[in-house]
A and B are shown apart, each in its own frame.
Chain A
Amino acid sequence: MSGSAKLTLGPLLFHWPAEKQRDFYFRIADEAEIDCIYLGEVVCSKREPFFAPYVEDVAARLAAAGKQVVRSTLAVMTLDREVAAVRALAGSGTLIEANDVASLQEVSGRPHVIGPYINVFNEGAHDVLVADGAVRIVLPVEITAPAVRALAGRGVETELLVFGRQPLSVAMRCYHARSHGLTKDVCQFVCGLNPDGLPADTIDGQELLTVNGTQTLSNGYQVLLHDLVALHAMGMTHFRLSPQDIDMVAVARIHRAVLDGERAPADAEEELRALTRATPWQNGFLHGREGMAWVEPALAGGRR
């Protein structure tokens, strides 16, 4: 695959205060070596009004910094106002990331991005979506290396999460509210209390999951530093960093250097570990193992 590897910043999954979000994106615009930014609420439509007053300014600032801006949509929709919002966004002509098939119905025939919450596990689904106008497909987090090899490079851009907590499920029920004895309708926005998610451990003390509103994430961060170059060789064009409440500008710099061959993964690992602190690393899905596993690079088929 020719062309340089693009670094992307996935949609912010957590409920940060609107001003914190604005400042985060302004810093990304000014300082981060990221080519494309996904903006928008994926998890819960109740959060949307908070950032709405800032989103156009942020999009303009990112575009002025030379970055591609893609607007992300909700992963699950059931309410009329959610459907109306996606219709309006799609109708505005902006490039959107469809995370629910609902969005596809609105952007069919026009260029759009397929998000990781729409299942694309095989060539059949891939090719139908490309024929329908998809110009980039973000593969589901559960995808394995052989499937990446089969699906990347089939004529459109291909993206995969390479850093950040793994999205494992979405729902209509809010587990964050439930953990506080509340329900989604009267949630008091308790998801905002945990800017990097709420840990959910097993009853015998094993760290396992992270709750983020209606979404369930892994406890660990997906880290594919050692796989970046091999993924690029398989035809992967875009590499997604998912915003966590850590220094994402530094995370981006590390990944950019490894993608460009300026730093060896083993060398970059130490700096990334300092940023991620005690959060464990995971890479099992890509290597055909349980997603919570960390497969040591030496065992991962010599993909350094």
Chain B
Amino acid sequence: MSLELVCPAGTPAALRAAVEAGADTVYCGYRDATNARNYPGLNFDRNEMAEGIAYAHRHGRKVLVAVNTFPCAGNPAPWHHAIDHAAAAGADAVILADIGVLDYAARRHPELRRHLSVQASASNELSIAFYRDRFDIRRVVLPRVLSVEQVAALVRRIGIETEVFAFGSVGPMSEGRCFLSSYITGLSPTSEGACAPASHVSYKEDGEGMLSCLGRVTLNRFGRNEPAAYPTPCKGRYVTHGRASYLFEEPVALNAIDILAELKAAGVTALKIEGRQRGRAYVSEVVGSFRRAIDALERGETGTVANALATVAEGGRETHGAYRKGWR
């Protein structure tokens, strides 16, 4: 089996761009707090979702619907409605994280495929087995904390499909369990779906350069000729021992395009491209590059595809992240 290329779509235009660029599968979410990329101007209303699924199916591709945040107490209805609609619209699977939402989907729509979101942070065989045995999940999206060897060991043991991140932003924290953004802004990524919400982001000059701020907290300073990165708490500079540094993670993008053969040999089913918040140009470029790389791998070509993705990578720099030892 060829590696399945799973691509992000923050808008209907990006969904079409992903299909045109060679995505096997597109993932997207509704325009509300039920998905983990709840940013202004992004995502799909009910009609757009139904049309997007129909468009992808006409082209022989699949659509996965992310309903991967955690409902607040007393208000599960938006999450339940999102799953009901995804089922009615013919989604090929839903991507879920919350135990209550998984339970609802498994009981009400047993025929609708369930994938476990990276937001559930299932990073070992027992956690994955818990979700598999309780909610019959068919695929797990693995957290970006495992080496290739660990991925291979999990694939052998868990008996369900795995999807791993191949390109995009690197989240160093255990996902779905990080409260840094809400600690600073009061808005929860876990239940409201927006880490570092745009409403709380600001930039200001301080004489030495440009400061990027989240809420009332300064997360970074950039020189005159340096591009100012978006102020996400885990990508900021902090002072420890009297020195400022990227304490959690450098401003780099994960790019696994030159280790696809290793991931395939590890038994991975699908490669995920991160970036529903990015535009259609990003989608076209990244998806096209990975399509060519996967096709070359299938033809048995040993040389790697020329990597031209640094220009769209976050911070213009790339990493293999946790796939290589030494990242921890």
The answer to whether A119 and B190 touch across the interface, beta carbons within 8 angstroms, is yes
Q: Which residues from B are CB-within-8-Å of A103? A: 126
The answer to whether B130 and A78 touch across the interface, beta carbons within 8 angstroms, is no
The answer to whether B71 and A200 touch across the interface, beta carbons within 8 angstroms, is no
**Residue B98 at the A interface, CB < 8 A?**
yes
The answer to whether A183 and B238 touch across the interface, beta carbons within 8 angstroms, is no
| Partner pick for B182 among A122, A123, A290, CB 8 A cutoff | A290
Q: Which residues from B are CB-within-8-Å of A121? A: 70-73, 98, 190-191
The answer to whether B130 and A105 touch across the interface, beta carbons within 8 angstroms, is yes
**Residue A150 at the B interface, CB < 8 A?**
yes
The answer to whether A178 and B247 touch across the interface, beta carbons within 8 angstroms, is yes
List 10 extra interface pairs beyond A78-B124, A147-B74, CB under 8 A.
A75-B174, A101-B127, A102-B130, A119-B177, A124-B99, A128-B99, A200-B247, A201-B238, A284-B183, A285-B182
The answer to whether A289 and B186 touch across the interface, beta carbons within 8 angstroms, is yes
Q: List 5 A-B contacts (CB under 8 A).
A: A76-B121, A101-B126, A142-B179, A172-B145, A205-B239
Chain A minimum-CB-distance residue to B242:
A201
**Residue B258 at the A interface, CB < 8 A?**
no
**Residue A267 at the B interface, CB < 8 A?**
no
**Residue B44 at the A interface, CB < 8 A?**
no
Q: Which residues from B are CB-within-8-Å of A119? A: 70, 97-99, 176-177, 190
Of the stretches B160-168, B215-223, B267-275, the one at the interface is B215-223
The answer to whether B126 and A86 touch across the interface, beta carbons within 8 angstroms, is yes
Q: Which residues from B are CB-within-8-Å of A144? A: 72
| Partner pick for A198 among B76, B178, B240, CB 8 A cutoff | B240
The answer to whether A175 and B178 touch across the interface, beta carbons within 8 angstroms, is no
A285 to B245: give the CA distance in the assembly, Å.
28
The answer to whether A202 and B247 touch across the interface, beta carbons within 8 angstroms, is no
Interface band, chain B: 35 or more
> Which A residues from 249 to 304 make CB contacts under 8 A with B?
284-285, 288-293
1/0 per position for A239-251, CB-CB distance to B under 8 A?
0000000000000
The answer to whether B123 and A122 touch across the interface, beta carbons within 8 angstroms, is no
1/0 per position for A113-137, CB-CB distance to B under 8 A?
0000101111111111100100000
The answer to whether B174 and A206 touch across the interface, beta carbons within 8 angstroms, is no
A interface size (C-beta, 8 A): 76
1/0 per position for A205-218, CB-CB distance to B under 8 A?
11011010000101
The answer to whether B73 and A185 touch across the interface, beta carbons within 8 angstroms, is no
A290 to B70: give the CA distance in the assembly, Å.
18
Known contacts A124-B104, A178-B247; is-contact A101 B130 (Cβ 8 Å): yes
Q: Which residues from B are CB-within-8-Å of A203? A: 218, 220-221, 237-239, 244
Kindly provide the distance from the CB of A114 to the nearest chain B CB, expressed in whole angstroms: 10
**Residue A169 at the B interface, CB < 8 A?**
yes
> Which B residues from 188 to 234 make CB contacts under 8 A with A?
188, 190-191, 206, 211, 215, 217-221, 234
The answer to whether B98 and A122 touch across the interface, beta carbons within 8 angstroms, is yes
Kindly provide the distance from the CB of A199 to the nearest chain B CB, expressed in whole angstroms: 7
The answer to whether B172 and A200 touch across the interface, beta carbons within 8 angstroms, is no
**Residue B322 at the A interface, CB < 8 A?**
yes
Kindly provide the distance from the CB of A79 to the nearest chain B CB, expressed in whole angstroms: 8
- List the 4 closest pairs (A to B, CB-CB), nearest first: A124-B100, A102-B126, A150-B73, A291-B183
**Residue A168 at the B interface, CB < 8 A?**
yes
**Residue A174 at the B interface, CB < 8 A?**
yes
**Residue A93 at the B interface, CB < 8 A?**
no
Q: Which residues from B are CB-within-8-Å of A166? A: 179, 183
A292 to B247: give the CA distance in the assembly, Å.
19
Known contacts A78-B123, A78-B124, A125-B100; is-contact A170 B174 (Cβ 8 Å): yes
A59 to B28: give the CA distance in the assembly, Å.
49
